[in-house]
Structure 1
Amino acid sequence: MLLTSSIRALPAGRPLTRLRSVRFASHDAPHFNEPTGMLFGEKPPPPGFRRIKQPWENIWYYGMYGTMLIGGVLLYFKPDTSIQTWALKEAKQRMEARGEKYKYEPSSH
């Protein structure tokens, strides 16, 4: 399908032999960074000095862990909307309306 639509798109005077040299969806090879042995490509600071944080790092830490904390709290307090809970509540209401007991009580046998 792609080849036929490309042939139709060619100008009338263009020879079809030229079509074989056209490369579709091609690109250069991905760039490869040589490994340096440094963590994240950063040189370790000299002894007695601390690593200087970049301005975006604190925003990322607070945003990532804050979102996880808020998500955990919201998940913990999420209302129970399962079908089993609804069905148990509905069955209890219907059995009470008919005058039946909904809890199992073993017989005296």
Structure 2
Amino acid sequence: MQFLRRLPTGALRNFKPRGGDAHAKGGFWSEGTQEKAPGYIFNETPPPPGQARKWEAWEAPWYATFLAAGLLLAIGLPSRPESSMVHFAHKKAKQELAEEGL
């Protein structure tokens, strides 16, 4: 039992982070070395006022593919044929009741 009590403190006491002291070199939250102002998505600067952003070569096929997939889902899924077991059983029951004359 004594071994289990000493295990966590002994393991943490001997732990040393790789690379030495994190604060000496600059840790994760320390002052950065950025040269540009942060805040632009994908590090793109906005175009000057009055000019439109130029699309890259991959953007038009990407948006067209997503539009086609969205239309396929919005139109294709609701118009698919009904093939559930409940629908089949309902049609079969109606047919058998019609044959019996009820």
Normalising by the smaller structure, the TM-score range is 0.5 to 0.7
| Structure 1 runs not aligned, ≥5 long | 1-33, 101-109
Partner of 2:47: 45
2:52 counterpart SS class: coil
1:19-60 residue CA offsets vs partner (Å, 9 max, x unmatched): xxxxxxxxxxxxxxx782102220011122211110110110
- Report the TM-score, using the length of structure 2 for normalisation: 0.58
Given residue 77 of structure 2, which amino acid in structure 1 is its aligned partner? Answer: L
- Aligned-residue RMSD, C-alpha: 1.8
Residue in 1 that maps onto 2:24:
none
Normalising to structure 1: TM-score of the pair?
0.54
| Larger of the two Rg values belongs to structure | 1
Aligned positions of 1:29-44 closer than 5 A: 36-44=38-46
CA distance in 1, matches of 2:91, 2:72: 30
Q: Which amino acid aligns with 1:78?
A: R
* Unmatched segments (≥5 aa) in structure 2: 1-33
Q: How many pairs does the alignment contain?
A: 67
Q: Matches of residues 48-63 of structure 1 in structure 2 within 5 Å?
A: 48-63=50-65
Identity, in percent, stands at 34
